[in-house]
Structure 1
Amino acid sequence: MNAPILPNAASPSPDSLTADCAANASSAHPAVRLGARAAAKIAPPASHTTDIPRDAIRDLVCAPHAAKLVLVRAPAGFGKTTAMGQCRAQLARLGFETAWLTLDHGDNDPSRFVHCLQLALRHMDAERLAGDDAQSAADVTLAVFDRIAARQSPFALFIDEFETIHDPGVIALLHEIVDRLPRHGFVVIGSRSQPHLSLGRLRARGQLLEIDADRLRFSLAETERMLNGHANLALGGRDLDRLQRCTEGWAAALWLASLALEKRDERSAFIERFSGSHDPLADYLAEDVLAGQPEPVQTFLLQCSVLRQLSAPVCDALNPGVDSATMLRTLDQAGLFVNRVEAAEPAYRFHSLFSDFLRAQLARRHPDRVPLLHLAASRWHEQHGHPVSAIDHAIDAGDVERALGLLLPHAVDFLAQGRLRLLARWFARLPQDGIDCHPTIGIVHAWTICLTRSPLEAMALAEQANWRTAPSAEIRAQADACHVVLLATLDRVEEAYEAGRRCLTAALAVHPFANATLVNVMATLATTMGHRDEARRLLDTARTIGGAQSALNRMYTEAAEGLIDLQEGHLRLATARFHLAAGTAGGHETAGFTDGNAWAGLLYARALYEAGRVADAEPLLNIYVPLARDIGLPDHAIAGYSMQARIAFQRGDVDLAFRLLAQLERLGHDRRLPRVVASAKLERARLLLLQGNAEASRSELDLAAGATAVWTRIEALRFLAHEVDSLTIARLRWALHFGDAGDAARALAQARADAASAGRRWRAMKLQLLECLALLRAGREPDALAAAWPLLGTLCAEGLVRMMVDEGPLAARLAMRCQASGATRARDPLLEDYLRACIEPYAAQLAALAEGEPPAHAAAPLEPLEPLEPLTRKERRVLQLLAQGYSNNAMAEKLFVSYSTVCTHLRNINAKLNVHNRTSAVAAGRRFGLID
């Protein structure tokens, strides 16, 4: 009989998903010629006549509901995938558009996850799945969000095998997707374990539908339908009840039991012997079913169990004399063990429940065959130009020398392509003494550790190996370039620059990739040292030498040039370069799936943030900040965490903002990066300033200032993270808010002049803005507006929105004063739009302030000595949160009350304090000593 396909089929190892997709370039239909690995990930499970309809599950999921997320969670073999497939088919019949994505461990790379998600969404829309291979992860992420948010018709996105996901970036992206879903869309997730998702908020809002193992268990009626209906076993009620109880409705065990019972006459006696937990029962039944197959079939299955992807040619290599194509077709038609994957050539995959079992059986029965089979597979893949699979199987075979021999000619190429996760996976399995025997591989190992895990660890490895004194000039060139990068990543910029200058005197033709990398890094270091002309010349050189053709170096060249543009205040030009850099990995099968792009990706996110495109920048920050943290890029980590904290603070999530800065500070301590620690304190002082807490802000500034050597170094150099965020600027900002604004304005004018004379245009613009704010606060509004107009024109032309917005309500008030003058319409409608963008985040706060603001030059009213009526304990808590910058929604969540309850408390507070708005309430609260 045709047996049903077990649920939760595992996805194949996707070493070249993008290459598979590229095969569709000339395809008229998205399913035609889709590569096997890509097709396996986005194809929904095939339905079979032997599948048992899961009517209750299907009706529950397909009925109208408010859920944005449906979680189908149960151990292996409970029929999650089958049930999800039936739900998808029913939704399609109801007019829903649907997309399917099966995940695997490789999808813990956020950039790869969004590329795969884009494939699934394109497949849903019947679009061609190729043609945009060069898109960066940033572009794809934004495109995916736009595609989801813009959908007009009902749709459902199915994501299976989510238990393989643990990466915070991927989890954050899924949260973003769920948050951005339109009202008529929802996501269905299948997982064997509790996913690492924050489900509490969705559950509290009634937006989570949970289907667990209890709901997925077969009922007695469904068990009877499977065994007596499809399997035609004619079991009596007692036998059915016994099987139902001992399997507890576990679909996989019931199906395996049906296969075993087909060949038995004494079925009742066989059923009586069933007992034990799920795993032993599955092993027992699987062995029994396997033993019932003809010997040639058993041998074929066991021999092929070492493969992740089955095709006739590679199976032939492992089974000489066997017609593998016919065998695979026969197994597929019988519904046993393999699933067909729709692709250009016939391809199959083992069902996940049997793949581990078969490998365990092979190791138990024929342990001597395991390495031989892996070696045969390795040789076949080597002969057919598949180095990744060839190396994988060589490692699985335990043949270290073969694996290293295969890796040696490709190691630098894999590094140049940015395939860092792949390299890290291999190095984790290869012995260090074997790696040390090949200096080229050893240097690539050090690069990989530096760019994925820890530059400190990589530096220790490089110093122990001492490759820089090797006899080979090529090895020395690679080692020198790696040494300079390590020093730069460890924030030892001055040492790196001097070491790099010595290395540049050597011939540039020794090793193209190493020299292109060295020149690129030196350009960035020259920028930091303040030598921009030298940096431009080095970047021109980087574009002309051979190694510049690698994806990694093209990315660094464009990003380094954009970094110079940004420091010169040319945001639009910098954004274009960062966008190009983030997508420069295109053209290779792993385009977009690179850790190296954390460098360019975070710069692109920074540019989007500075332009006020927070909704576009935030998902990119979710991808790249964890990567920058893991790699240990100081400036990127400082900028990334600071941007995330500012976004959270502006939304009223003050707790998250300070938690992010605590994480940044901890990162600095862990990585021994004092500049990172001091920067976390500086940003914390800025948030406290925006809360109006002068004393706490000044205290945090004093703590930051304790790192005297750090700030002396920062002022002498030009770090990206500190070009507009330094201790000097922070102190001047505090002075204009809480000190003598007139004195602050004069100091800011001098600092602006110094920055302009040094060619630091971005910093000069920030200082000029603060000077305008100081003049406004000092009561010199005409002077403030006169100074602001030319600055605002420049900021508008460059699109620097956050330079204004990040300075808080006072900057918005300056923009509103300019807007009220009426001159913007006569000058430039684009400037009018720019001013609105600067005002909008604080519109409600400014309106409240204007409502309670006395006329200019009016005598100050007499202030009461105490509230009209004492505030309750809950009202005082609300007032405290209000002073800290929490939004109404955030206060509701923090106090575990409804939004309307918070509004009631605010009205009572205003009445008792005799004020009319939030700003006045905070001021009165401070005056009455109600706010700590």
Structure 2
Amino acid sequence: MGRFRRGVLGPIVRSRAGGTMHRATFAQTKIQPPRFRAGLIERGELERRMGTALTTRRLVLLIAPAGYGKTAALSRQFRRLPEDCAAIWMTADEEDDLQRFLVCLAESLEACDPPWRTAPEALANQLAGGASLRAGADELLGVLAAIPVAHGVIALDDLHAVTDIRVFELLGMLLAGLPENWTLAIASRDDPPLPLARLRARRELAEFRQSDLSFDQNEIQILCGASGADASGEAALRLLELTAGWAAGVSLSLGTPAGVASSSPDGRWSRRRLFDYLAAEVLDKMPPDLRDFLLRCSVLPELTASRCAEVSGNPRAAELLEQIEQRGLFVSVLEGEELTLRLHDLFRDFLDERLRRQFPDQVPLLEQRAADSERDPIRKVNMLVRAGDWPQAEQLLAELAPVLVTAGDSAQVLRLVEQFPAHERKTSPELAYASGLCAWHEFEDPVVVEAMSQAGLGFERQGRPRQALEARIFEAISLLFLGRLEEADSRALAIPADPGVPETAALIELFGYWRTGIYGPSTGPAEHLGRMVDLLMQGAPAQLWHRCIPRLYIMIGRPGVAGPMRRFVGGALAAARDNSQPLEAAATVLDTWLLLWRGHRESARAAIERVKAQSRWLGQPRSLRVPLLGAAVAFDAIRGDKEGVRTGSEALMSNMLTSAIHADWRTNITAWAGRQAAAADDWQGVRRSLHELEGAQGKTAFPRLGSGTLRARLALHEGRNAEACELLRVAAEASADVDRLGFDASIRVSLAVAELRLGAPDAAWRALAPLVAAADATGEVGGVLLCGATLLAEVAQARWGAAAPEAGVAALERWAALAKQWRSEVHEGRDAVEGEPRLSTREIEVLSFLAAGQSNKLIARSLDLSPHTVKRHVARILDRLDLSSRGAAAAWYQEQRRA
């Protein structure tokens, strides 16, 4: 059998810190302010007003058409801000939807060590997926308020490029609650859809528009003198009349030969036509090698010597870039180790039009070269799409999708898929597989079936049997969940016993796990899970572990499953390390179920709290929240906490109320909620679940058995013992083969109680004997505890006589005593855990460095952690101490040391 394949995306999705996966997959030049040129003239009154506004107003607007120097004016004042002022810069572009905008904005704030409570990437995904913008705005406002700066300015350049209206809705909410020590500065060609009238009325808005940014005659005269042109008042007046003070027109006119400006078309031409005319004059007067170099490199979003050399093929790229900057053309200079230029939009558009007219045959090749050297994967995919290179774009997305999904960025994958033309989305197996993979982690089985069916057919047509097989496996598993057994089995017929590829072999075992888990035999899941873990342990990447983990916890309690499940947890945590926080959290919640199943109350409680913190940090994705809520509900049911069971079950159901999730899931959750209510002796909750289950016709045996079991539990509670016994005897015939999350134990203990009440202790023991034997062999009592303390007390106190062995009765008594112990803290109050340490050893260690004034990056370096891990520790420290800022946490630490 071969080795696991390794991806080729390393440099595209690596972060700058520690080589770990970084979800802020965008060009860092987006958050670097441009450097204004030393030769720019002073514009005293404008600069004085703008400098004052940036430190006193809530919103500063620079609104003017292209070419009026908005970026130059803002960046110049931005770099002159006081030293104690936080300066945050972000350049927007047409690829910025809400998710990407938020990720870029969060990354631009990183220099301030913001005290995030939720991972910013997760928050962005959460909001992009439809979560409340209000909640996201409150999170951002809380972070800004907690940053210890005298004043802060967030500059958003080129905001007109953003078309996602949700960005402006979020900005409106931010403006409404912006802390007094923060200013938002926006440069745009058009008025943004924000509450400007309200801000004007409150004198919280400073506006700089076309009339403010236009050059006057005196300024044009100074510019002419500085450039060596005719600096007379008459010449300046002619240039003012020609350009109406338009900075782009003035600048280009100064670069044309003498006499051109005076003979140029007058103001009856549009600014765009005038710019094209003047730009052509400038471009055509350039040396041919410089002109051709500039045209070819205009396909790049930013110009560096290395990338320009790759795209143009010209080894003199560095020298030519220096000439471009020295000529004062329409470029911004960005910070960096190497000279980096960004072309002005107007100039780029002009060059692009000239390039396509002059060298049309070369454009696809140039676009391809630009994509080859692009490190921003989002840009790279979109570049390839624009170049019409569907195969390479799809292949790149196929490699990128598992990485992004494992990093929690499914929403980004789906947005990339949407960038492709409709005909490609309908026919491409790569795009279908990527979409299906996202749906797989969200329990959206109907979507998985449709997408993976399309992927399987497409891969088969392309002669790619392994990829087709993997798509068919996911399709088959989701068909199982949908109760479409015959279709699932027809897919299974094509699955070979040994595909020769460990990744595919692991997925085949995953199918076997679910096939036997849903339809039996009872020992099947353990056998398949054991073989799957053996395969994964051969060096599987985090992406494959993550692909196998969804819903694994459901089969906990099956014979022999706990052992390989513990091995799976260990392997997944090792594979995750700092590369995948979602995988780490998913493995931790699986471990929580294992602790719960062994009856370890305090360990399970601590694990639940740990996963809750991870879930909050990751934005509470459904793939994590559903198993976490299930574990929390089970924990509360064993404790007899009726209110906890009720609220947890409602939250669990609300996470599954979407048309993309099959109705059987909601039916199963309703039955599960009723079973937990019975364990907590909440009979109103049981009746409510039964009412909701009326008329539900699940396609698998489990929903029907679940409904029947609830009716039996209620009958038993109401003393209708014969009716309960009849229902439970039928259920017990199949419960072992379809057991999940203690279902079989619930039926057997309930049946034993019914038989005992009907005077049949021998039959009662026959029902219980398998449970006692299994618990003695494995130490797993979670399923038994989920029967509820009331039932366990009744079987423990029964008069067994000779029907049950002495050791068996002793086991029943231990169960009852353990159940009573679990319930004791609810009756005694919720203060039983007050003595727990508030912070872990690692958190105290992080806090000590934080109190010493170290940044997240320095703390990460000192403790050999990733900055993302440090951010998560800081968030947990603030949550546990109920504090809002790093400064407050540092003060708390110093106070504790003094005490």
The change in CA–CA distance for 1:152 and 1:245 in structure 2 (over 3 A counts) is same
**In structure 2, the residue corresponding to 1:219 is in which secondary structure?**
helix
Give 1:511-660 correspondences, 5 Å limit: 511-520=501-510, 523=513, 534-535=524-525, 537-545=527-535, 549-557=540-548, 611=609, 617=615, 620-621=618-619, 624=621
Residue of structure 1 in register with 2:433 after alignment? 447
2:447 is the alignment partner of 1:481: no
Residue of structure 2 in register with 1:100 after alignment? 89
Give 1:279-428 correspondences, 5 Å limit: 279-280=272-273, 282-320=275-313, 323-374=316-367, 396-398=386-388, 403=391, 413-418=399-404, 425=416
Q: Could you list the per-position Cα deviations for residues 867-887 of structure 1 after superposition, in whole angstroms to 9, with x for gaps in the alignment?
A: xxxxxxxxxxxxxxxxxxxxx
Shift of 1:302: 0.9
Shift of 1:40: 1.2
Q: Could you list the per-position Cα deviations for residues 674-705 of structure 1 after superposition, in whole angstroms to 9, with x for gaps in the alignment?
A: 347779999999xxxxxxxx99x999986774
The change in CA–CA distance for 1:300 and 1:485 in structure 2 (over 3 A counts) is farther
2:139 is the alignment partner of 1:151: no
1:216 to 209, 221, 237: 209
**In structure 2, the residue corresponding to 1:21 is in which secondary structure?**
coil
Q: Could you list the per-position Cα deviations for residues 421-447 of structure 1 after superposition, in whole angstroms to 9, with x for gaps in the alignment?
A: 5798479648969997xxxxx543331
Cα pair 1:443 1:478 within 8 Å, conserved: no
Shift of 1:336: 1.9
Cα pair 1:416 1:550 within 8 Å, conserved: no
1:709 to 686, 691, 698: 698
Report the Cα distance in structure 1 between the residues aligned to 2:324 and 2:148, rounded to whole angstroms: 42
The change in CA–CA distance for 1:601 and 1:85 in structure 2 (over 3 A counts) is farther
Report the Cα distance in structure 2 between the residues aligned to 1:541 and 1:289, rounded to whole angstroms: 70
**In structure 2, the residue corresponding to 1:506 is in which secondary structure?**
coil
The change in CA–CA distance for 1:117 and 1:600 in structure 2 (over 3 A counts) is farther
Shift of 1:525: 6.5
Residue of structure 2 in register with 1:40 after alignment? 29
Report the Cα distance in structure 2 between the residues aligned to 1:518 and 1:790, rounded to whole angstroms: 39
The change in CA–CA distance for 1:60 and 1:366 in structure 2 (over 3 A counts) is same
Shift of 1:327: 0.2
Shift of 1:553: 0.9
- The two structures, once aligned, show a CA RMSD in angstroms of 6.9
1:19 to 8, 14, 24: 14
The change in CA–CA distance for 1:194 and 1:553 in structure 2 (over 3 A counts) is farther
Q: Could you list the per-position Cα deviations for residues 145-179 of structure 1 after superposition, in whole angstroms to 9, with x for gaps in the alignment?
A: 99756533335363635566677998999899889
Give the structure-2-normalised TM-score.
Answer: 0.56
Residue of structure 2 in register with 1:914 after alignment? none
Give 1:802-841 correspondences, 5 Å limit: 818-819=828-829, 829-830=834-835
Report the Cα distance in structure 2 between the residues aligned to 1:167 and 1:637, rounded to whole angstroms: 33
Shift of 1:636: 8.9
Report the Cα distance in structure 2 between the residues aligned to 1:603 and 1:169, rounded to whole angstroms: 36
Residue of structure 1 in register with 2:108 after alignment? 120
Shift of 1:358: 1.6
Shift of 1:374: 3.8
Q: Could you list the per-position Cα deviations for residues 241-299 of structure 1 after superposition, in whole angstroms to 9, with x for gaps in the alignment?
A: 9958976x7xxx42333321453656885687124555555544544443454433322
Shift of 1:555: 1.9
The change in CA–CA distance for 1:179 and 1:535 in structure 2 (over 3 A counts) is farther
**In structure 1, the residue corresponding to 2:829 is in which secondary structure?**
helix
Q: Could you list the per-position Cα deviations for residues 500-525 of structure 1 after superposition, in whole angstroms to 9, with x for gaps in the alignment?
A: 7656661042x333333443465466
Report the Cα distance in structure 2 between the residues aligned to 1:149 and 1:605, rounded to whole angstroms: 35
Report the Cα distance in structure 2 between the residues aligned to 1:576 and 1:208, rounded to whole angstroms: 62
The AA in structure 2 aligned to 1:21 is R
The change in CA–CA distance for 1:37 and 1:767 in structure 2 (over 3 A counts) is same
Report the Cα distance in structure 1 between the residues aligned to 2:788 and 2:837, rounded to whole angstroms: 20
Cα pair 2:221 2:236 within 8 Å, conserved: no
The AA in structure 2 aligned to 1:484 is A
Cα pair 2:243 2:249 within 8 Å, conserved: no
The change in CA–CA distance for 1:243 and 1:769 in structure 2 (over 3 A counts) is farther
The AA in structure 1 aligned to 2:316 is D
The change in CA–CA distance for 1:328 and 1:178 in structure 2 (over 3 A counts) is same
The AA in structure 2 aligned to 1:541 is R
Give the structure-1-normalised TM-score.
Answer: 0.55
Give 1:97-246 correspondences, 5 Å limit: 97-104=86-93, 108=97, 110=99, 116=104, 119-124=107-112, 150-156=146-152, 158=154, 160=156, 161=158, 184-185=181-182, 188=185, 215-219=208-212, 223-224=216-217, 226-232=219-225, 234=231, 243=240
The change in CA–CA distance for 1:521 and 1:117 in structure 2 (over 3 A counts) is farther
In the alignment, structure 1 segments of 5+ residues that lack a partner are: 1-13, 26-34, 128-133, 437-441, 643-657, 686-693, 718-725, 773-786, 797-813, 834-932
The change in CA–CA distance for 1:350 and 1:478 in structure 2 (over 3 A counts) is same
The change in CA–CA distance for 1:418 and 1:584 in structure 2 (over 3 A counts) is farther
The AA in structure 1 aligned to 2:147 is R
Cα pair 1:522 1:535 within 8 Å, conserved: yes
- Higher relative CO (CA 8 A, sep ≥ 6), structure 1 or 2? 2
Q: Could you list the per-position Cα deviations for residues 77-116 of structure 1 after superposition, in whole angstroms to 9, with x for gaps in the alignment?
A: 55554454345434443x1233334455666584x76765
In the alignment, structure 2 segments of 5+ residues that lack a partner are: 1-8, 127-135, 440-446, 594-604, 634-649, 675-682, 729-742, 750-767, 793-814, 839-899
Cα pair 2:566 2:591 within 8 Å, conserved: yes
Stretch deviating more after TM superposition (342-351 or 674-683): 674-683
Cα pair 1:582 1:597 within 8 Å, conserved: yes
Report the Cα distance in structure 1 between the residues aligned to 2:490 and 2:165, rounded to whole angstroms: 36
Give 1:867-878 correspondences, 5 Å limit: none
Shift of 1:448: 1.5
Shift of 1:498: 4.7
Report the Cα distance in structure 1 between the residues aligned to 2:591 and 2:271, rounded to whole angstroms: 50
